[in-house]
Amino acid sequence: MTAQISVQNLTKSFIVPHQRRTTLKESFIGFWRAPVNEKFLALEDINLQIPAGQFLGIIGSNGSGKSTLLKILANIYQPSHGQVHILGKVASLLELGIGFQQDLSARDNIFINASLLGLSNTKIHHILPEIVEFAGIGHFLDLQIKNYSSGMRQRLAFAIAAFLDADIYLCDEVFAVGDENFQAKCLAVFQKWREQGKTILLVSHNTTQIAQLCDRAILLQNGQIQADGLPSQVVALYHQAGSR
């Protein structure tokens, strides 16, 4: 089976500065000293083949590299080493609501964000009522986004993505958005994508949902894949590692 996403020998490192200057004196003295930096390996030698139509769960402790991997696949970060090949249109549900223009209304932000994600104005006009109803913001459509709560912004961002027609969906902690009613809506969207044969990558700390929803799961620890297989088995290994 041809891989829709192919990750080969992927490594991502960041330079972390350790010299902090908070006063004018420290800045003056520090000017004559060489900066002290450390290389942090967020991902190390990742190899992953994901076929079209697979629902892949990605689990691991905080700092294990889960979000970094999705950001590389979304072309937000560039790999330090290795290669990534993706076939198809990608929709990214990462850090929901971060890209909104704070001084514009929700209506304007829907048009801007949906346009950036490849939808035509005609299509946006057509699906606007559905986005508004899904996000539950009917009375606040023309309110500036800066007056929205973080939860409202996240619900709106997911609602926009829910009506995109992509081949691959990269999702980071989307089930942490909203109340139980909204989470049920999110679950229905995932079921729709599965029925349509979409490829889905889901990062989540909710291992129960990973086990129930996904076809396959990987466990990341310290930037490396520690397990890859059936979700129930990978989740069990994750819990065993956490109890040690």
CB 150 within 8 A of CB 158: no
Would you kindly state where each structural domain of the chain is located, as residue ranges? 3-8+50-242
Residues 6+ apart with CB under 8 A from 182: 136, 155
Tens of each residue's pLDDT in the chain, 244 residues:
567 999 999 999 988 776 655 666 555 555 556 666 778 889 999 999 999 999 999 999 998 999 999 999 999 999 999 999 999 999 888 877 667 889 999 999 999 988 887 788 999 999 999 999 999 998 899 999 999 988 888 889 888 888 888 899 999 887 776 677 888 888 899 999 999 999 999 999 899 989 999 999 999 999 999 999 999 999 999 998 775 5
The span from the CA of 169 to the CA of 156, in Å, is 17
What is the number of other CB atoms lying within 10 angstroms of the CB of residue 158? 24
CB 140 within 8 A of CB 106: yes
pTM (predicted TM-score): 0.84
CB 209 within 8 A of CB 175: yes
CB 210 within 8 A of CB 217: yes
Task: Name the pairing type of β-strands 199-203 and 168-172.
Answer: parallel
When the candidates are 3.20.20.60, 1.10.260.40, 3.40.50.300, 3.20.20.70, the CATH number that belongs to 3-8+50-242 is 3.40.50.300
